[in-house]
Amino acid sequence: MADPITAAHFQTLGLDDWRWLLGRIESQFRAGSFTGAAELVGAIATLADAADHHPDLDLRYPDRVHVALVSHDAGGVTERDLELATAISALAAERAMASEPLASTSTEIGIDAIDIDAVRPFWLAVLGYEAERTPDGQQVVGIVDPLHIGPPVWFQQMDEPRPQRNRVHLDVTVTHDLADERVAGALAAGGTLLDDSHARAFWVLADPEGNEACVCTWQDRDRSTPGA
């Protein structure tokens, strides 16, 4: 298994199309048309299959391809990612496609907690996430979307609870036929049902320390329903 490299080392390599964000490298390419962007995605997929190393790809209208590279088995960016990044940049250059590395942005959600181990199972259940890989014996303070679509969540250790009501909550929209399972899983993981008067539009839940999340569906919504 290849050893991960550091962000500082990456910065010295001259891969100008790419930027380091949250432990991975990312870039965006403008293809000039939606069809051209789709063709670039196909070319990258062929390249990745040949290398047996695969990036996360996101195709967006009108002509944008977002690429993110990390070696999940190594827990970081490795030489494999650098080689594939170089090859992807070459593919784009051959097609006269401009890179926009500064357009890449990553968002994390931070949740304050007194007892991280008590709070974390609720958020794993309500989001459908999985625990972030950590060295043996180290506390898990991050959870991630297994599909690499939703933002990662991390838990910040607090010394004492905040007396005021939490003024931020997350809305988690799921398919209507998964909602009951998602709510039940969150409750089984230590959550509390605060309000189900608007179900099946949404259920208001709280983790063991009062941080709130709504599980939402398209059902039972009208124009007065938040998020309708």
pLDDT band at 104 (very low <50, low <70, confident <90, very high): confident
Looking at per-residue pLDDT, the higher value among 135 and 6 belongs to 6
Q: Calculate what percentage of the chain has a pLDDT beyond 70.
A: 95
From the list 184, 117, 194, 108, the residue with the least C-alpha distance to 152 is 108
- Three-state DSSP at 1 gives coil
Under DSSP, the state recorded for 177 is: T
CA distances to 27, 45, 54, 60 from 57, rounded to whole Å, are 10, 9, 9, 10
Amino acid identity, position 141? V
Q: What domains can you pick out in the chain, each with its CATH number?
A: 7-103 (3.30.1360.20), 109-216 (3.10.180.10)
Query: What average pLDDT score do residues 7-30 get?
Result: 94
Beta-carbon count within 10 A of 165 CB: 7
Q: What is the pLDDT of residue 225?
A: 54
Q: What is the pLDDT of residue 139?
A: 94
Query: What average pLDDT score do residues 65-69 get?
Result: 97
User: And the tokens for 204?
Assistant: 């208001």
Q: Is the pLDDT of residue 224 over 70?
A: no
Query: What average pLDDT score do residues 211-227 get?
Result: 78
pLDDT in tens, 131-165: 998 888 889 999 999 998 999 999 999 888 777 76
Q: What is the pLDDT of residue 106?
A: 86
pLDDT band at 1 (very low <50, low <70, confident <90, very high): low
Query: What average pLDDT score do residues 79-91 get?
Result: 98
pLDDT in tens, 156-205: 998 887 777 667 789 999 999 999 999 999 999 999 999 999 999 999 99
User: And the tokens for 68?
Assistant: 């993110």
Run of H or E including 193:
strand 192-195
Beta-carbon count within 10 A of 177 CB: 9
Start-end of H helices in 23-67: 34-51
Q: What is the pLDDT of residue 65?
A: 98
From the list 162, 72, 76, 71, the residue with the least C-alpha distance to 112 is 162
pLDDT band at 223 (very low <50, low <70, confident <90, very high): very low
* Cβ burial 62-95 (10 Å sphere, 16+ → b, else e): ebbbbbbbbbeebbbbbebbbebbeebbebbeee
Mean pLDDT of the chain: 92
Q: Calculate what percentage of the chain has a pLDDT beyond 90.
A: 80
pLDDT band at 5 (very low <50, low <70, confident <90, very high): very high
For residue 8, what are the contacts with CB-CB under 8 A and spacing of at least 6? none
From the list 67, 149, 49, the residue with the least C-alpha distance to 103 is 67
In terms of Cβ atoms closer than 10 Å to its own Cβ (0-12, 13-18, 19+), residue 143 is buried
Q: What is the pLDDT of residue 228?
A: 45
Q: What is the pLDDT of residue 162?
A: 73
Instruction: Tell me the CB-side half-sphere exposure of residue 68, using CA atoms within 13 A.
Output: 17
